């Protein structure tokens, strides 16, 4: 005779991962019911936004049997590990703030990761109420000239500039700690769902607040995924060619260099370097790229086993 538990374990239901706790996942079904799930064996290949098949193992528990095909995946990596951030999203909002001052290196790394994943990007400068905002906005003019959408807002007072960009999309929010991401999520949802950390003034950086990725619905057709604040965006998984292609303003000049394997470092006949001399590519962006490639090579030389 088949028991009720055995019958439940024979049922496989399709759902979507709405929270990634690392070793456990919260999966939501079409009827909005949510269950806590594990992934079989040592595989931790599910992430927030994934469509999955779940085998129920209890009233509010399940096991992820299969992860569906993804249309995109954003993740970061260093020489030791890879960390999936979210899957199947429509766009990414990179949240910055003038205080604590945002890292331009972090912004550039994030843009490369998003471009490599073929994800549209919006750069949102938060804390528009602060006097430091004017200079920070001036810094972002370069990225506006490249073609990125730049908006200004204040999570504390007014998030309305962001709302039209989110409508009918699943948007991934990323940013360094201290940029006001938790306050932005709370303002969008009109609820204190995200814990807001105190600013650590002595270190001039924000305390880490969100510790896992979480999916939130704003309405029937609009949702966001909030991610943990992090200070670096490793790109160890990308090749040099992928990094060059992810530099949006490089693309008109790629394939036109004197040498087919040109890395745009110091090679003669490099069209990207020539374009920089003509002002068609900014010197700071070329410098960022060249430093990134040098660091990339050094890491891969130190860890050839991870490069295979």
Quick one: 139 and 282 in the same domain?
A: no
For residue 259, what is the domain's CATH number? 1.10.40.50
Answer whether 206's CB lies under 8 Å from 178's CB. Answer: yes
Category of 264 on φ-ψ map: left (φ > 0), alpha (ψ -120 to 50) or beta: left
Average pLDDT, consecutive stretches of 10 residues, N- to C-terminus, the chain (308 residues) = 52 94 92 92 82 92 95 80 88 97 95 96 97 97 97 96 98 94 94 54 38 89 90 83 97 96 96 98 97 89 61
Report if residue 304 sits inside a domain: no
What is the distance between the alpha carbons of residues 107 and 35, in angstroms, rounded to a whole number?
35
CATH code, domain carrying 217: 3.40.50.300
Which tens digit of pLDDT belongs to each residue from 37-77?
998 765 668 999 999 999 999 888 999 999 999 999 998 87
Would you tell me how many other CB atoms lie within 10 Å of the CB of residue 251? 13
> Rounded to whole angstroms, how far apart are CA atoms 223 and 16?
13
User: Which two three-digit tokens encode residue 176?
Assistant: 């360094």
In DSSP notation, 83-120 reads: EEEEES-SEEEEEE-TTTTPPHHHHHHHHHHHHHTT--
Q: Are residues 201 and 94 in the same domain?
A: yes
Are residues 78 and 176 both part of a single domain?
yes
pTM of the model: 0.88
Are both 61 and 77 inside the same structural domain? no
DSSP collapsed to 3 states, 27-40: EEECCCCEEEEEEC
Domain-terminating residue out of 67, 87, 114: 67
**Residue span of the structural domain in which 47 resides:** 4-67
**Total of domains in the chain:** 3
Question: What are the CA-CA distances from residue 48 to residues 42, 73, 74, 224 (Å)?
Answer: 18, 10, 11, 11
pLDDT of residue 207: 39
């Amino acid at each position: 005779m088949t028991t009720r538990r055995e019958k439940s374990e024979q049922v496989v239901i399709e759902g979507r991962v709405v929270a990634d706790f690392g070793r456990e996942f919260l999966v939501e079904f079409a009827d909005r019911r949510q269950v806590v799930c594990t992934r079989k064996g040592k595989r931790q290949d599910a992430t927030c936004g994934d469509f999955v098949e779940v085998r129920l193992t209890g009233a509010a528990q399940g096991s992820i049997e299969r992860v569906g095909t993804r249309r995109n995946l954003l993740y970061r990596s260093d020489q030791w590990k890879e960390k999936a951030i979210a899957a199947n999203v429509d766009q990414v909002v990179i949240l910055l703030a003038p205080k604590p001052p945002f890292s331009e290196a972090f912004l550039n790394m994030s843009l490369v990761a998003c471009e490599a994943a073929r994800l549209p990007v919006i750069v949102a400068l938060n804390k528009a109420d602060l006097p430091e905002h004017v200079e920070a906005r001036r810094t972002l003019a370069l990225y506006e000239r490249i073609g990125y959408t730049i908006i200004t807002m204040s999570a504390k007072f007014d998030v309305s500039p962001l709302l039209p960009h989110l409508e009918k999309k699943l948007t991934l929010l990323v940013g360094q700690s201290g940029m006001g991401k938790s306050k932005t999520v709370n303002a969008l949802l009109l609820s204190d769902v995200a814990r807001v950390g105190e600013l650590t003034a002595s270190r001039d950086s924000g305390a880490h607040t969100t510790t896992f990725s979480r999916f939130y619905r704003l309405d029937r057709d609009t949702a966001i995924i909030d991610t943990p604040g992090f200070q670096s965006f490793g790109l160890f998984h990308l090749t040099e060619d992928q990094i060059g292609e992810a530099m949006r303003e490089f693309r008109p000049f790629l394939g036109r260099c004197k040498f087919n394997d040109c890395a745009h470092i110091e090679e003669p006949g490099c069209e990207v370097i020539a374009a920089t001399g003509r002002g068609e590519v900014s010197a700071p962006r070329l410098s960022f790229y060249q430093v990134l490639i040098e660091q990339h090579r050094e890491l891969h030389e130190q860890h050839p086993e991870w490069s295979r």
